């Protein structure tokens, strides 16, 4: 082992021994063991047998305290990724910015991270860019440092499920009881380091029904413009997490309160300012997404972007023509330019772009119902999504309800009735 690494290891071990763990009084909380997957308990035990520290951490501890069964499990440990890899046969090491271990089980993955510190200095392992944003943070630390570099106090609790020990360095337990979302540290610095923390705040506040602590909230107002510094790929993931968390309607209100919606979707904002029906389409889409998620039905990012970009498409298509082009061509070229503009802020992968385009172009065809085309449209791979969107447009008052009703009846009818319906339509 290189001498530097050896010394660091000794220092870390010494520090770990010196830290007095702030253990929460056991009488003050109750965590139901049944809510913790057995794989997680086994993993903690295995670490302990090899004399490593290991705790459940982050969202899983927060959710356990709130009696919500955690959607994924994160573990934090003082073992390095290489040690974790040696210890577990089901381990894959991932990550460029920071090495993480994934433990693969039949139907789930447990993510294991080595305690990290958010060093005060800049160096080879820890780097911020000119905006104060962290671009590399590769320094291992102890449990206390790991706690302080996390985003919110409620996400910074550690739980040793084997010994039933809850460790709280940042006051997260009290905040959970107060239903309060509080950023750790100085808001301006923490948001500058990683602007995504601002929209994470919105997601947690909506999802958990927590209020946002005053300084945490003011910091968002001051730093919201930094959100555009985040990579477009990461923004796509975060925006999808926002709208697919089961409370999109609430999220939309919060995004507007903090002024994020117009930063993320400037063209949409411009149109809906003057067209309430278009905003209603958005609201109904969010409401329907929330319902689908509660009912465990599938949802797709494509549908979300269709609803968000629809107002822009309408405004483009309705602009007076300077040259003679067919409506289909006009729709096609508008779609292309609208998507090109949007992906300057939020990247959308090719596969979703294809679906978005299809759902857009199907709207016109569903409305027109030319000749026998409705029969083949029923078999279009994007028919279902396009029909669902048509229903929302009708419900919002953008198109006649009888067009949506016609399609509802048409797809459920037998063939002779379908032919009759087509005859009737073209009389």
Catalytic residues: 72, 74, 151
C-beta of 242 vs 366, nearer to Mg ion: 242
Binding span for Mg ion by CB under 5 A among 71-79, 222-230, 267-275, 356-364:
71-79
Tokens at 332, concatenated: 């096609």
Q: How far is the CB of 230 from Mg ion (least distance, A)?
A: 19
Q: CB count, 10 Å around CB of 271?
A: 19
Among 155, 223, 363, 396, binds ligand ATP (CB under 6 A): 155
The gap between the terminal CA atoms of the chain, to the nearest Å, is 86
Ranked by CB distance to Mg ion, the top (closest) residue is 59
Q: How far is the CB of 63 from Mg ion (least distance, A)?
A: 9
Is residue 72 a contact residue for ligand ATP (CB under 6 A)? yes
Tokens at 241, concatenated: 């997490």
Among 116, 150, 250, 382, binds ligand ATP (CB under 6 A): 150
| Beta pairing partners, 352 | none
Is residue 59 a contact residue for ligand ATP (CB under 6 A)? yes
CA 95 and chain centroid, separation? 19
Is residue 71 a contact residue for ligand ATP (CB under 6 A)? yes
The 3-class SS string of the chain reads: CCHHHHHHHHHHHHHHHHCCCCECCHHHCCCCHHHCCHHHHHHHHHHHHCCCCEEEECHHHHHHHCCCCCCCEEEEECCCHHHHHHHCCCEEEECCCCCEEEEECCCCEEEEEECECCCCCCCCCEEECCCCCEEEECCECCHHHHHHCCCEHHHCEEEECCCCEEEECCCHHHHHHHCEECECCCHHHHHHHCCHHHHHHHHHHHHHCCEECHHHHHHHHHHHHHHHHCCHHHHHHHHHHHHCCCCHHHHHHHHHHCCCHHHHCHHHHHHHCCCHHHHHHHHHHHHHHHHHHHCCCCCCHHHHHHHHHHHHHHHHHCCCCCCCCCHHHHHHHHHHHHHHHHCCCCCCCHHHHHHHHHHHHHHHHHHHCCCCHHHHHCCCCCHHHHHHHHHHHHHCCCCCHHHHHHHHHHHHCCHHHHHHHHHHHHC
Q: How far is the CB of 46 from ligand ATP (least distance, A)?
A: 21
Is residue 141 a contact residue for ligand ATP (CB under 6 A)? no
C-beta of 71 vs 319, nearer to ligand ATP: 71
Encoded one letter per residue, x for contact with ligand ATP by CB under 6 A and - for no contact, window 182-221 reads ------------x-xx------------------------
Is residue 241 a contact residue for Mg ion (CB under 5 A)? no
Binding span for Mg ion by CB under 5 A among 32-40, 55-63, 320-328, 349-357:
55-63
> Are the CB atoms for 196 and 232 separated by under 8 Å?
no
With CB under 5 to 8 Å by kind, the binding choice for 197 among Mg ion, ligand ATP, none is ligand ATP
With CB under 5 to 8 Å by kind, the binding choice for 382 among ligand ATP, Mg ion, none is none
Binding span for Mg ion by CB under 5 A among 64-72, 153-161, 243-251, 342-350:
64-72
Is residue 22 a contact residue for Mg ion (CB under 5 A)? no
With CB under 5 to 8 Å by kind, the binding choice for 155 among Mg ion, ligand ATP, none is ligand ATP
Q: How far is the CB of 341 from Mg ion (least distance, A)?
A: 32
Residues touching ligand ATP, count (CB under 6 A): 12
With CB under 5 to 8 Å by kind, the binding choice for 420 among ligand ATP, Mg ion, none is none
C-beta of 74 vs 175, nearer to ligand ATP: 74
Among 22, 59, 132, 266, binds Mg ion (CB under 5 A): 59
C-beta of 60 vs 288, nearer to Mg ion: 60
Positions that interact with Mg ion (CB under 5 A): 59, 72
Sites of contact with ligand ATP (CB under 6 A):
58-59, 71-72, 74, 150-151, 155-156, 194, 196-197
């Amino acid at each position: 082992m290189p001498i530097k690494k050896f010394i660091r290891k000794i220092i870390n071990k010494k520090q770990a021994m010196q830290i007095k763990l702030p253990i929460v009084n056991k009488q003050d909380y109750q965590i139901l063991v049944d809510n913790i997957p057995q794989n997680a308990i086994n993993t903690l035990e295995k670490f302990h047998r090899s004399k490593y520290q290991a705790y459940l951490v982050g969202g899983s501890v927060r959710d356990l305290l709130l009696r919500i069964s955690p959607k994924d499990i994160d573990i934090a440990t003082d073992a390095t990724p290489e040690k974790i890899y040696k210890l577990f046969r089901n381990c894959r090491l991932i990550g460029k910015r920071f090495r993480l271990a994934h433990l693969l089980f039949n139907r789930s993955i447990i993510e294991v991270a080595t305690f990290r510190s958010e060093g005060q200095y800049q160096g080879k392992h820890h780097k911020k860019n000119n905006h104060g944003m962290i671009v590399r943070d590769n320094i291992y630390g102890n449990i206390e440092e790991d706690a302080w570099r996390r985003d919110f106090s409620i996400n910074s609790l550690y739980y040793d499920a084997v010994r039933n020990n809850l460790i709280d360095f940042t006051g997260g337990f009290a905040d959970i009881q107060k239903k309060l979302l509080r950023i750790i540290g100085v808001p301006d610095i923490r948001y500058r380091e990683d602007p995504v923390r601002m929209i994470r705040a919105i997601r947690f506040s909506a999802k958990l029904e927590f209020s946002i602590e005053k300084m945490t909230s003011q910091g968002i107002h001051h730093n919201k413009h930094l959100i555009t510094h985040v990579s477009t790929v990461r923004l796509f993931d975060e925006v999808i997490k926002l709208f697919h968390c089961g409370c999109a309607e609430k999220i939309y209100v919060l995004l507007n309160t903090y002024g994020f919606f117009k930063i993320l979707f400037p063209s949409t904002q411009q149109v809906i300012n003057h067209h309430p029906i278009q905003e209603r389409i958005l609201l109904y889409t969010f409401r329907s997404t929330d319902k689908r998620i509660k009912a465990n039905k599938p949802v797709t990012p494509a549908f979300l972007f269709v609803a968000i970009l629809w107002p822009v498409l309408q405004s483009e298509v309705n602009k007076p023509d300077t040259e003679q082009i067919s409506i289909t061509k006009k729709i096609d070229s508008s779609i292309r330019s609208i998507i090109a503009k949007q992906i300057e802020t939020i990247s959308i992968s090719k596969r979703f772009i294809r679906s978005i385009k299809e759902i857009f172009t199907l709207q016109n065809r569903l409305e027109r119902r030319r000749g026998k085309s409705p029969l083949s449209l029923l078999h279009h791979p994007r028919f279902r999504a396009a029909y669902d969107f048509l229903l929302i447009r009708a419900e919002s008052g953008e198109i006649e309800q009888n067009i949506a009703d016609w399609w509802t009846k048409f797809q459920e009818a037998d063939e002779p009735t379908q032919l009759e319906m087509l005859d009737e339509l073209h009389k």
